[in-house]
Structure 1
Amino acid sequence: MNTIGSSGSLVTPDVWNGREMRDALASRNISDIYKLLRRHGVSQRQIAAATGQSQSEVSEILKGRQVMAYDVLARIADGLGVPRGYMGLAYDGATAVRVAHSPSDSQAEEDETVKRRKFLSHAAAVAMGASVFGAEEGGWLPVSVQTPAPSRIGMTDVQQIQAATKALRDLDYRYGGGTCRDAVVAQLSWAQQLLGAQASDQVKQKLFVSLADMHSLAGWTSFDTGLMDPARGHFGRALEFAKQAEDDSLVASVLYRMGRVYLHYHQPNEALKLFQLGQIAAQDSGSALTVAVMCANEGWAYGMLDRPDQVQKMLGRTKDEFARADMSEAPEWVRFFGENDLHGMAGSAHDALAEFHPERYAPMAVAETIKCNQAYGADMQRTHVFGLSLQATNHIRAGDVQEGIKIGRRALEFGANVKSARVPDRLYPLQVEAGKQRMNSEAREFSEEVRLFRESREI
């Protein structure tokens, strides 16, 4: 592309500081921004290439079509080399703020079912060994402004990426993806440049692993803030890097996380396919803990499909694999799965079955979630919210309404500290079950309390 200004920008920096341009940027008026760029000699083709849009899209925007989707705005800002702060998109601890998607946005027009099918096909191709590294990404990832990177790297550089990923993952666990998603993406934008640096084969292999793990975190935090298209894109790249590194456990980890996305959106069949693909990689990895994670999640998916026989089979295998796992030898990205998570996953599977057979499985869900909720600390607040919500919901299903309300209020208390689009979603069953207690005024009031809390937390 023939650029006019400095590297990463179509124009010189002073253009972004002009009065008209700053007003257009502040109001996110992309049509006016493009018109002003045209005045400075930037062609529609150059704008399209920089922003990852088609020329027809650019033409429509110039004619007045609005752009409102947060991830599209961020991609445009990064592609044009605009400081994110000029458009109110800079990371400021409030990543969760997201502008509603425009019905006319091209990505929004693609049916969600088609996107799920495309990702599943891509995941299967990568997991089963197809050579897709560097292939077209289907518009999944945004163009990013890049800070200069070193021309040669060593193991220390890779370890810095790993340290950054760990620190950001800790933030995600503690406070939700809304507190760190932009920081992860920004770090990833820089880290990917290291692919062009000279390095030994050993360093390159570790770099692939580190980038896969960071892309996986970017996918997870995107999902946690409700940004599904970027989530799919990052998970897709994570799979490619993990496969390039020949790291089967990491391949399994990425597939597990994407499967969890589909479970959240009540698509257990698609989730199960991803978990089963991940199970193949987990077994090839030789990590019993990775196998346990996949089995537990398969059990949850079978619960949502009302398959109690398969749930018990998968939970039994989960316990067996967990018992023989050596934590000191387990890969970094599955060490989170401890005794608490074992009980939490069993509780989730029984909670899913309790939607079909509350009298039988709600007490079992309560028993398992009590075990995990008693041990969660401040470093796992989001997971604790989910566990308390499950426990409260199943107390009510089992007839212990007062205890359900008591535990439910604790879930709301912890949930107020977590920036996650999943929190209001995961609290919905609690609202429904409390609302069913029509003869109990306190339960009805609590149902309304949950509804108002959910509305206030939606991002």
Structure 2
Amino acid sequence: MVSTGAVPNLAFRRLRGQRSAGEFAAAVRRAAREIGEQVACDARYIGRVESGEIRCPNYAYERVFLHMFPGTTLVDLGFSSRETVRGRGARATVDTPPPTAPHRDTDEESDVLRRVFMTSGTATMATATLGLGGTSAAAATGPVPAPRRVGEAEVSAVEKAVRQIRLLDDRQGGDNLYRKASHPLRIAYALLDSGVAAKRSTAGRLHAGAGELAISVGWLAHDSGRFEDARSHYAEALATARVAGDAALEAHAFCNASFLARDTGRPRESVRAAEAGQRAAQPLGSPRLLALLALREAGGRAGLGDRTGCERAIGRAHTAFGRGRSDADPEWMSFFREAELEFLEAQCWSVLGEWSRAAHHARRAVRLQDPHFTRNLALYRAELTWDLARAGRAVEAAAEGHRVLDLLGRVRSTRIRAMLAESVTALRPQRGTPEVREFLERYADVSGTRE
């Protein structure tokens, strides 16, 4: 719980001046965007800083504050130096929320949560609980044992958890996996925070593994409609990448952050994140990664109504994709095949209101997709349903809608269900058509709604 001896941060309060805590929080968020960071700063966070509850900000906030006030140090801003709050005792009395407090969706909170779970136990015990298949509800929310010394076994367990999440997501979607996956993520960051990796190479792999795990869990949150959770996890991954100097992890974090910004109606932020990802990815030697990031940029530009910029980004994506695979392609990009390229292009044209063109690319995505990847097949068909419905091709849309419903028995994805619901809304004016009426009635039965 918060220490009763917390000392108010008067220096930080003076920097706020006449602005309200909410206005100052908005300035912090703007400054973060200027340097490619993402922080979910609000008035409550500012209040916690000024009250002295937060003695030292996490790395993401540190970079933002030092950007806002050039030439200063954390101490100048009224914080304690990081070295003085690294001990467990300081963490427990300053940064840790009460055990019954709800999780708050800021990346500062993620930093706090990591530290909370470093209380007892051994690295061996922590590693044993990294598996996802048999994780109980109690285990998923219970305390995480703290590590002693981190070696090959622990790092391999983190890397295995990342692969397992990706495999299960391909088959099931995010809804059923998110809470289970949060547990190994907390363990991974407990290992990382211990600072006792046996070798430098082990430490590098652990940073990369923990960051990739944060992105994977963030994606599950994204796919299941928990957008603030996703934003926090992506910001955590980006902070980890920056601390470790890992350009590949940074590019991945920006890629997902761009995707999330587009999905939550922040197209300008989506473009900025995609551009930052491309800068990070440029020296990595992976044309496919650059292609995906160009498509993320295209999606953001479509949201801005920037047709010319969107077309240019799509063109760059096709050029880079055409260069083929590379040994430098990240492992997580196994999903990015021609079908995904077609799907992402379809989404761009859909946002720009070119429904028939979007449907053409969505149909190509469906045809190219490996049927074993059930979730993506359902996603592509949901996009096709929507594009056909908006293009006025109601009978074709209804047929595709049936196929999505066939797949939703095996896939739990809030995102896909939301897309299908939008298609249903678009098709309702055509319910006089028998094929459309049949689909709408089946959808109502499956979803528990009444037509």
TM-score range (shorter-chain normalised) is 0.5 to 0.7
Q: Tell me, in whole angstroms, the C-alpha distance in 1 between the residues paired with 2:199 and 2:29.
A: 32
Match of 1:218 in 2: 217
Matched residue of 1:283: which SS?
Answer: helix
Matched residue of 1:178: which SS?
Answer: coil
2:376 to 372, 379, 383: 383
Q: Which amino acid in structure 1 is aligned with residue 276 of structure 2?
A: L
Q: Which amino acid in structure 2 is aligned with residue 371 of structure 1?
A: R
Match of 2:288 in 1: 289
For the Cα contact (< 8 Å) 1:340–1:372, is it kept in 2? Answer: yes
1:415 equivalent to 2:414? Answer no
CA-CA distance at 1:426 after TM superposition: 1.6
Matched residue of 2:413: which SS?
Answer: coil
1:138 equivalent to 2:108? Answer yes
Q: Tell me, in whole angstroms, the C-alpha distance in 2 between the residues paired with 1:120 and 1:420.
A: 32
TM-aligned CA distance change 1:114 to 1:318, over 3 Å: farther
Q: Which amino acid in structure 1 is aligned with residue 320 of structure 2?
A: E
- After superposition, residues 72-87 of structure 1 pair within 5 angstroms as none
CA-CA distance at 1:118 after TM superposition: 6.0
Q: Tell me, in whole angstroms, the C-alpha distance in 1 between the residues paired with 2:311 and 2:206.
A: 39
Match of 1:30 in 2: none
For the Cα contact (< 8 Å) 2:285–2:328, is it kept in 1? Answer: no
Matched residue of 2:149: which SS?
Answer: coil
Match of 2:365 in 1: 372
- Choose 420-429 or 403-412, whichever is displaced more: 420-429
Q: TM-score, normalised by structure 1?
A: 0.66
Q: Tell me, in whole angstroms, the C-alpha distance in 1 between the residues paired with 2:228 and 2:164.
A: 24
TM-aligned CA distance change 1:122 to 1:448, over 3 Å: farther
CA-CA distance at 1:211 after TM superposition: 0.6
Match of 2:177 in 1: 180
TM-aligned CA distance change 1:222 to 1:400, over 3 Å: closer
Match of 1:403 in 2: 396
Matched residue of 2:356: which SS?
Answer: helix
CA-CA distance at 1:163 after TM superposition: 1.2
Q: Tell me, in whole angstroms, the C-alpha distance in 2 between the residues paired with 1:454 and 1:295.
A: 36
CA-CA distance at 1:139 after TM superposition: 2.6
1:316 equivalent to 2:315? Answer yes
Match of 1:170 in 2: 167
Q: TM-score, normalised by structure 2?
A: 0.68
Q: Which amino acid in structure 1 is aligned with residue 160 of structure 2?
A: A
TM-aligned CA distance change 1:117 to 1:422, over 3 Å: farther
Match of 2:420 in 1: 427
Q: Which amino acid in structure 1 is aligned with residue 152 of structure 2?
A: M
For the Cα contact (< 8 Å) 1:127–1:243, is it kept in 2? Answer: no
Output one character per residue of 1:322-349: Cα deviation in whole Å (capped at 9) or x when no partner.
1124343311122321111111111111
For the Cα contact (< 8 Å) 2:382–2:416, is it kept in 1? Answer: no
For the Cα contact (< 8 Å) 1:431–1:448, is it kept in 2? Answer: no
For the Cα contact (< 8 Å) 2:431–2:440, is it kept in 1? Answer: no
Match of 1:349 in 2: 348
TM-aligned CA distance change 1:207 to 1:318, over 3 Å: same
Q: Which amino acid in structure 2 is aligned with residue 175 of structure 1?
A: Q
CA-CA distance at 1:132 after TM superposition: 2.4
Q: Tell me, in whole angstroms, the C-alpha distance in 2 between the residues paired with 1:119 and 1:286.
A: 32
For the Cα contact (< 8 Å) 2:182–2:217, is it kept in 1? Answer: yes
Q: Tell me, in whole angstroms, the C-alpha distance in 2 between the residues paired with 1:400 and 1:161.
A: 47
- Choose 233-242 or 369-378, whichever is displaced more: 369-378
Q: Tell me, in whole angstroms, the C-alpha distance in 1 between the residues paired with 2:432 and 2:25.
A: 44
Output one character per residue of 1:169-206: Cα deviation in whole Å (capped at 9) or x when no partner.
11122111122212221112222222212321111111
1:229 equivalent to 2:199? Answer no
Match of 1:8 in 2: none
Q: Tell me, in whole angstroms, the C-alpha distance in 2 between the residues paired with 1:152 and 1:391.
A: 51
For the Cα contact (< 8 Å) 1:172–1:179, is it kept in 2? Answer: no
**Length, aligned pairs only:** 342
- Choose 328-337 or 137-146, whichever is displaced more: 137-146
Output one character per residue of 1:384-436: Cα deviation in whole Å (capped at 9) or x when no partner.
22211121222233343212110111112212322222122222331232123
Match of 1:362 in 2: 355
Q: Tell me, in whole angstroms, the C-alpha distance in 1 between the residues paired with 2:28 and 2:445.
A: 36
Q: Tell me, in whole angstroms, the C-alpha distance in 2 between the residues paired with 1:434 and 1:150.
A: 55
Output one character per residue of 1:218-238: Cα deviation in whole Å (capped at 9) or x when no partner.
111122223233322211111
Matched residue of 2:335: which SS?
Answer: coil
Output one character per residue of 1:313-371: Cα deviation in whole Å (capped at 9) or x when no partner.
111110111112434331112232111111111111112122xxxxxx22221221112
TM-aligned CA distance change 1:212 to 1:116, over 3 Å: farther
For the Cα contact (< 8 Å) 1:272–1:301, is it kept in 2? Answer: yes
Q: Tell me, in whole angstroms, the C-alpha distance in 1 between the residues paired with 2:379 and 2:163.
A: 22
Q: Tell me, in whole angstroms, the C-alpha distance in 2 between the residues paired with 1:442 and 1:275.
A: 41
Identity %: 23
1:268 equivalent to 2:267? Answer yes
TM-aligned CA distance change 1:182 to 1:339, over 3 Å: same
Match of 2:201 in 1: 202
For the Cα contact (< 8 Å) 1:126–1:132, is it kept in 2? Answer: no
Matched residue of 1:138: which SS?
Answer: helix
For the Cα contact (< 8 Å) 1:295–1:317, is it kept in 2? Answer: yes
Q: Tell me, in whole angstroms, the C-alpha distance in 2 between the residues paired with 1:417 and 1:312.
A: 35
Match of 1:154 in 2: 151
For the Cα contact (< 8 Å) 2:385–2:420, is it kept in 1? Answer: no
Q: Tell me, in whole angstroms, the C-alpha distance in 2 between the residues paired with 1:443 and 1:114.
A: 52
CA-CA distance at 1:115 after TM superposition: 8.8
Q: Tell me, in whole angstroms, the C-alpha distance in 2 between the residues paired with 1:120 and 1:223.
A: 23
Q: Which amino acid in structure 1 is aligned with residue 429 of structure 2?
A: K
Q: Tell me, in whole angstroms, the C-alpha distance in 2 between the residues paired with 1:297 and 1:168.
A: 23
Q: Which amino acid in structure 1 is aligned with residue 154 of structure 2?
A: D
Q: Tell me, in whole angstroms, the C-alpha distance in 1 between the residues paired with 2:382 and 2:235.
A: 31
CA-CA distance at 1:270 after TM superposition: 2.3
Match of 1:331 in 2: 330
Q: Tell me, in whole angstroms, the C-alpha distance in 2 between the residues paired with 1:416 and 1:115.
A: 43
CA-CA distance at 1:296 after TM superposition: 0.8
